[in-house]
Structure 1
């Protein structure tokens, strides 16, 4: 482009999605004929349940579903999300507090746009989902990372949060079960964080999209249930993508105080307007229906979780805690850095270098920890077929040598 064709500072200051970049490179290599095993994208390999697909097909045939819907979503879907919140989270919300969004990412984006002013700070417990800090920046805010290590279960302490708090602190991101670590915050941690937020007038953005994917008898603790007083300053972010294997349907939602919901709907009215009617009809069938499908997927994920953790810990120089939720293994690979690895004796200085080498030479795609604010780690999604998982781990071990 010519010198005068500059892009906005806003977009230049935002990093591309590392998870999508890894997935795109892996797919490009596959298209070129390279046999790549992809552990990058957080996407269940299961099809959307048949009864949900059938509901969408029926909706397609009805001309009334070929039109715009209200911007904040179909009233029956908003009502169903409110009912689902009572069923799963254990507290009541009004349908007027619900806004249906084009996937969970739009819910994150809108929530931050609605509450953050330029210069406001948002505390992000680290490791974090790669989109959080970029969405904060797009709102004009400043992401403030508070790191929690594996030895503490990747759960933040209130002392660390308080040390990071300043007069500009506006909000905190909560994500449990967690992407990328698979950590599930205890009820004690949730209570401490919620009470801290109430005391200091800090908004809480709670991303609960992996809520039904927990293992070993561990249950998701909902901050709005554990600390009822926080609900007046709580924005819940969720969607159908992970629970019902509906990543491509693009239906998420946010739940917040009514002024927040109205503001988010106003913003969405100038961005995308409503979510596709047919997708909303499919989501309505999913949300209002049983959780049998997720139970079956969770059983499969549990088996893969145990397999991948054992395989990773069997690779010299790699250690991995057993995750209690989601479908990610977050492996510590720091012992592989700075020494020869792979058949060519390549030396990786960073986990980003290691991930690139593993993909180029070992044909295994994983996301480097730098994408999550945790250099020295690799994230492996185990939401892939059992045979591919086993083969990918075999390749990783052989490649390390």
Structure 2
């Protein structure tokens, strides 16, 4: 599930002066909630506000101190979340101050986050991402007496100057987090039925908008329309990632226009092993990865290739994944040389049995010495750089 959660904080004027008027009458202490949750107090960012806290004090020194600490943080000063601005400072303060307090109150009133998932949604919005205001948003689909309990839990903290009222928004949500999870699972089942053997997809339902977001490399327009028809009251957003997978009968290996070149090639990694359904690549500009690939038996040990993966790579060592396309690069064949680069690499693999310190041959760089007529490999051995020489014969 994609969560629209991000950084947040409060402008200098609001920090110094607060908002509203001071007082301790019943409405200020208990906040305001619409009767039975049937109406809204107002709209903010197009959302129906059904309850709100009262800014009962003009000064909030404890909150101001906590907010100022955010602007002294390493993350803020070094711009790790963006250029240091009053907007970023406000974004960060809300996330650090109002956010944890509101979340704790929600979990207390609704029986933990799992309990609240059945009732609504919760997310942050920040100005640095284009929101009108920094805030933590608590959305309830079917408001009941617990909304008032939530206000009663939070209002004393506003009165004590620990938090500000304005960045906490309680609104009527059209969906709950549980409903979004269920929707995601339904769409996922439909997608699995459409998925090609080597295709991949990413699926999320936006917590704020409810839009179904799908990234893919196999869905044709007709399949996208089919999904939309299956969920007619939902909005889809499709995004193609990389090239579409090969059609049935088409090869997923891309061969160069010229098989050989007399110019050294710097891109790509080296095929260290290839068998039916899987190949292993390492060295050069590619990471060490075992790839599942239906045409692996058509690849040759020693070839320099670039791989376009299908989906993610498992963070094992070596990595594991599936290849969508394999681009074979031109084989470097120096003028006057007997061996091509791929043949020299195959000999190096044979000489080292394909293994060095990490358990596989890591070729950093290859060059050809035309005077000595030999291939010189810079490799990793015993976790250090080493040199391996192969006679050109």
With the shorter chain as reference, the TM-score category is under 0.3
TM-score by length of 1: 0.23
Q: Which has the higher strand share?
A: 2
Greater relative CO (CA pairs within 8 A, separation 6+): 1
Structure number, greater radius of gyration: 2
TM-score by length of 2: 0.23
Q: Which has the higher helix share?
A: 1
